[in-house]
Structure 1
Amino acid sequence: MPIIESQIDPHSEEFAQNQEAMQAAMDVVREIEDKVYQTELSKKERYAKRKMILPRERLAKLLDPGAPYLELSSLAGYKMYDDKDGTGAGAGSICGIGYVSGVRCLVRVDNFAVKGGTITPIGLEKALRMQQIAFENKLPSVTLAQSGGANLTYAADTFAHGGRGFANQARKSAAGIPQVTVVHGSATAGGAYQPGLSDYTIMVRNQATMYLAGPPLLKAATGEVATDEELGGAEMHTGIPGTGEYLAEDDADGIRIAREVMATLPWNQQLPVSHKPDFKEPLHSPDELLGVVPADSKKPYDVREIIARLSDGSEFLDFKVEYDQQTVCGHMWIEGQTVGVIGNNGPITANGATKAAQFIQLCEQSNIPILFLHNTTGFMVGTESEQAGIIKHGSKLIQAVATASVPKISIVVGGSYGAGNYAMCGRGFDPTFIFAWPNSKTMVMGGAQAGQVLRIVAEAKMKKAGQVDEAMLDGLEKQTADMLEAQSTALACTARMWDDGIIDPRDTRKVLAYTLDICRESAARPLKTNTFGVARL
């Protein structure tokens, strides 16, 4: 297999400047995450008096010590809806993929210590995305529930789609994918159905409550007076209607029981025996990925420099390299797992589209996962491109991306603009996983181009009216450019759930190896399905 010979000098001044810019962008991400955590920590004493432990402490007790854990969408909802200070990043929950008693699971912990863990529309979108990941990758789910429920300010935006979460739970149970929930606090109205639809429910004594209507609403609606415990307490639910299967003494005990439930499931025993293949580390350190991408987004670079720091032994078999230089396709390995990769060295030409579409079909034929490395302004435009059939050939590529059934993992390493985002398997094309680097930008077009377009359109109207106001045109162009630039940043895009999280470029190889292994295990795993899911009778 050919080896990529890097043309980058990691000791150069330019590399240092690129590295500094990327590190600064990554530091902003970590500062936001830490601010949320510090907000959580500030509530520690308050909840300790109620004998409760904080959300991230619960998570630490749930996960196997030292085992891999990949957090997802940590900045979802950042400065959206009523989040004025940025502490709402995470959208009310901490979610990720980790190991519980040796079983790889999708875990969700309601972050009740920040804004009560209430759910805004983006919080709902995050919850639905986590369910999709668990369902597609056959991952059991463990939820540590304690939330203020839906943010009623946005009830009209969450109610109808909120039902999808319950439907997903029923379908997961019927598909044979176990769901375990520990109820640590209040689960009211629609929130009560989440543990009710779980396969295993654990309730914490003197803390957990589940009811369709709490005592105040019950009194207002029917005149009946009842205590929390009588109406929906843990002892009542586990002892009388059997809504809960296990009664825990406190937070830690509930998590212990959840771990024991997972330990009893023969989840790993159902997989065929597999051996982790030997592999070589890249010849060029993945740590150098901080300095590979130019700080100036307008400056081109070769995507092979990224591949050289991701691939085993920095090996890469370039596909149809003479046919088109702008779209790079080829085969490589990541920790012994074969991967087809598609990257960008510029706009997607007609030849680039046909090349990539053919390559996707070859990967589909051989059941090879595909990695997309986004850095494109979109499809090439102009008379020559139109006459070359860019729409026809671009449509072929989009069809191939949309219909390929192999795992598809996207990393937005630079710009991802216009239909180029679609052709490179952006969020709308349901990649198995999609992550972004902190320098990345995603939008219909660049801010400067958008500003110029609106200026040209407005100027044409002014000329027809017989009066051109240059100052107004300047203002329109700048306002449009600034608005789109602000909306296209990695922070803005991850807040809107356009990806599954911003990752440190240095962690890209580890993240890819982990997610590829999830995909491999999912493909090999048999499921024992049933018709309606497991019901409490």
Structure 2
Amino acid sequence: MSISSIKDHLVPRHPTVINKASPEYKSNIEEWTKLLDQLKERLKEATSEGKEKSIALHKKRGQLSARERIELLLDEDSPFLEICPLAGYEQEHCTLGGSVVSGIGLVSGVLCAINANVPTMAGGAMNETTVLKVGRFQQIARENRLPVIVLTQSAGANLQQQFKVFHRGGGGFRNQALASKLGIPSCCVVFGSSTAGGAYTPGLSDYVIMIKKQAQVFLGGPPLVQMATGEIADAESLGGADMHSRISGVSDQLAIDEHDGIRKAREWISNINWERQGKLPERHLLGQYEEPFYDPNEILGIVSSNIRIPYDATEVIIRIVDGSRFTVFKPNYGVNLVCGWGFIQGIPVGILANNNVIFTQEANKATQFIQLCNIKNTPVLYFQNITGFMVGKRYEEEGIVKAGSRFINAVSNSKVPAITIMMGASYGAGNYAMSGRAYEPRFLFSWPNSRCSVMGPEQLTGVMDLVMRQGAKRAGIEIDEELASQRKAMFQMSVEAESDVYYTSSRLLDDGIIDPRDTRMVIGFCLEVVYNIKVEGGNIYGISRM
């Protein structure tokens, strides 16, 4: 009997109770169609690389766009997982995407982290969003041991945002140095100007390729040199590709044009003798795994676009895992939290998914399950749709604080890779317990319906109103009800705006917004990435208040 048939025999297909003919199912699909059309429109906007005039001038110089450079760099038919494409969305003084395109793809058969400046957006100058996005990109590359290729052409820091760029921006160079010490290889292809602080990007890279008569690297350009020293020099002799290839040695290869520079980068990757440290299961490598038995498209009918309407997370899980086979852990205990094991593209995973608020039983169950995943060296997936922990006198007496603390302790100290998907609400300490951004999962993606905040807008507004009234009563102040009502409405509008998924994604609180139907594909790719290093659990506990 084959491995596959043994697995099929031991792990039955999980049943479904979805009625595709129900009015609710059909209504959900209609609402999701609107949400996904909006997502497509905004992602399309994110692929734009600036004003038509700037792009036309760039092309006239015979230069490729940032996305064209990435496309040529990647292997044919390689996937490209773009990171934070909507960073900076609707933020004043910030370019959409932060004037950089970042992601992961195959180059000469090796999974690489790729970052390309977009020179047709403000000359590729770095703004606040750029700094944050590049920092996240470098964190992903370092944590997952990904070789880095940077395609550089940038005007340096946006001087109008010097305060927001300068102080944190230097951390990017430190990150390069730390990655080099860890033995993570890096290659920088310089296509145009790389000035001032930007000169350290190639300077700190393991390998540098410069494009002849295009690349220019210098700490100070001709005007600054003349002002500081009185010396007059043109840009090419001061920091051109030919000079750096023949005299300074900053350049390791001189490319005759952009296509040649990209070819040399691919050649370099093919010669670094790079091997992953983690061992992927044979069934994944050979593609010998089942697709879900239940259609992933059905997720749109199961999940309401309105996060107030509950759904059974198990119905989502069985449309993501291989063969729709899912082994549930403690099915009758702590039922508001679904825990269990399955496979995604042949890779074993442990899954935690919310069905409702977290009680003491759910917290205890999660803690034990995370420990088991660490013992089994199994990556953990967190599917968030959570309003938080249960509150009230009874639950405090039962020790919800202790149970919740043990849960958070386990999440914090878990050694195996974590991947988080926000599938709805993500409120309060529930966000923390389910491995929100602050808990540094390897990857975190959101669905377009999701919302993230300290609590729901109505609850938060109500709490603030109660606090205000109690304070006024203690001070003996009479409340102006009309003014209080106006302030309450304005505050609720503000909270709703700040919890919106596009607001949070714009500020890099996730790694991107994805179509729910693509969840399996995205997770599968991320799992392959995390296996670049050895997946290993261990003792996850410090002091805990039992």
**Alignment TM-score > 0.5, same fold:** yes
Structure-2 separation of matches of 1:220 and 1:11: 75
Does residue 6 in structure 1 map to residue 4 in structure 2?
no
AA aligned to 1:56 is: R
Alignment equivalent of 2:480, drawn from 444, 460, 469:
469
What residue in structure 1 maps to residue 528 of structure 2?
Answer: 517
Alignment equivalent of 2:214, drawn from 207, 212, 234:
207
Structure-1 separation of matches of 2:419 and 2:425: 16
Q: Which has the higher contact order (CA 8 A, sep 6+)?
A: 1
Q: Note the 1:207-286 alignment, pairs <5 A.
A: 207-268=214-275, 275-277=282-284, 278-286=288-296
Structure 1 stretch displaced more, 290-299 or 320-329: 290-299
Structure-1 separation of matches of 2:387 and 2:68: 43
Residues 6-28 of structure 1, C-alpha deviation per residue, up to 9 Å, x if partnerless? Answer: 22223433222212322322222
Q: Note the 1:10-159 alignment, pairs <5 A.
A: 10-40=20-50, 42=52, 43-83=54-94, 88-159=95-166
What residue in structure 1 maps to residue 462 of structure 2?
Answer: 452
AA aligned to 2:104 is: I
Structure-2 separation of matches of 1:294 and 1:192: 49
Alpha-carbon contact 1:348-1:420 (below 8 Å) kept: yes
Alpha-carbon contact 1:108-1:144 (below 8 Å) kept: yes
Residues 207-252 of structure 1, C-alpha deviation per residue, up to 9 Å, x if partnerless? Answer: 1100001111111111111100111000001110110001112222
Alignment equivalent of 1:300, drawn from 285, 288, 310:
310
What residue in structure 1 maps to residue 8 of structure 2?
Answer: none
What residue in structure 2 maps to residue 394 of structure 1?
Answer: 404
Residues 50-93 of structure 1, C-alpha deviation per residue, up to 9 Å, x if partnerless? Answer: 1111111111111111122211110011122414xxxx221111
CA RMSD of aligned residues (A): 1.8
Relative to structure 1, the CA distance from residue 11 to residue 118 in structure 2 (aligned partners, 3 Å threshold; closer, same or farther) is farther
Relative to structure 1, the CA distance from residue 344 to residue 281 in structure 2 (aligned partners, 3 Å threshold; closer, same or farther) is same
Alpha-carbon contact 1:398-1:422 (below 8 Å) kept: yes
Relative to structure 1, the CA distance from residue 72 to residue 335 in structure 2 (aligned partners, 3 Å threshold; closer, same or farther) is same
SS in structure 2 of the partner of residue 300 of structure 1: coil
Relative to structure 1, the CA distance from residue 51 to residue 478 in structure 2 (aligned partners, 3 Å threshold; closer, same or farther) is same
Unaligned runs of 5+ in 1: 526-537
AA aligned to 1:504 is: D
Alpha-carbon contact 1:17-1:295 (below 8 Å) kept: no
Q: Note the 1:152-191 alignment, pairs <5 A.
A: 152-191=159-198
Structure 1 stretch displaced more, 288-297 or 497-506: 288-297
Structure 1 stretch displaced more, 252-261 or 355-364: 252-261
What residue in structure 1 maps to residue 6 of structure 2?
Answer: none
Does residue 412 in structure 1 map to residue 422 in structure 2?
yes
What residue in structure 2 maps to residue 529 of structure 1?
Answer: none
Q: CA deviation at 1:359?
A: 0.5
Alpha-carbon contact 1:375-1:412 (below 8 Å) kept: yes
Alpha-carbon contact 2:73-2:262 (below 8 Å) kept: yes
What residue in structure 1 maps to residue 387 of structure 2?
Answer: 377
Does residue 326 in structure 1 map to residue 333 in structure 2?
no
SS in structure 1 of the partner of residue 248 of structure 2: coil
Aligned residues: 521
Residues 425-470 of structure 1, C-alpha deviation per residue, up to 9 Å, x if partnerless? Answer: 0000010111111111011111111111111122223334342221
Structure 1 stretch displaced more, 281-290 or 402-411: 281-290
SS in structure 1 of the partner of residue 425 of structure 2: strand
Q: CA deviation at 1:271?
A: 7.8
What residue in structure 2 maps to residue 291 of structure 1?
Answer: 301
Residues 134-175 of structure 1, C-alpha deviation per residue, up to 9 Å, x if partnerless? Answer: 111111011110112222222222323222211111121122
AA aligned to 2:438 is: G
Alpha-carbon contact 2:378-2:535 (below 8 Å) kept: no
SS in structure 1 of the partner of residue 236 of structure 2: helix
SS in structure 2 of the partner of residue 384 of structure 1: helix
Residues 337-364 of structure 1, C-alpha deviation per residue, up to 9 Å, x if partnerless? Answer: 1111001011111111111011101111
Structure-1 separation of matches of 2:390 and 2:122: 46
Structure-2 separation of matches of 1:269 and 1:516: 13
Does residue 193 in structure 1 map to residue 200 in structure 2?
yes
Does residue 492 in structure 1 map to residue 499 in structure 2?
no
AA aligned to 2:202 is: P
Structure-1 separation of matches of 2:303 and 2:280: 40
SS in structure 2 of the partner of residue 221 of structure 1: helix
AA aligned to 1:210 is: V
Structure-1 separation of matches of 2:234 and 2:155: 19
Structure-2 separation of matches of 1:209 and 1:70: 30
Relative to structure 1, the CA distance from residue 36 to residue 300 in structure 2 (aligned partners, 3 Å threshold; closer, same or farther) is closer
SS in structure 2 of the partner of residue 6 of structure 1: coil
What residue in structure 2 maps to residue 533 of structure 1?
Answer: none
Q: CA deviation at 1:523?
A: 1.5
Alpha-carbon contact 1:451-1:479 (below 8 Å) kept: no
Q: CA deviation at 1:524?
A: 7.2
Alpha-carbon contact 2:307-2:450 (below 8 Å) kept: no
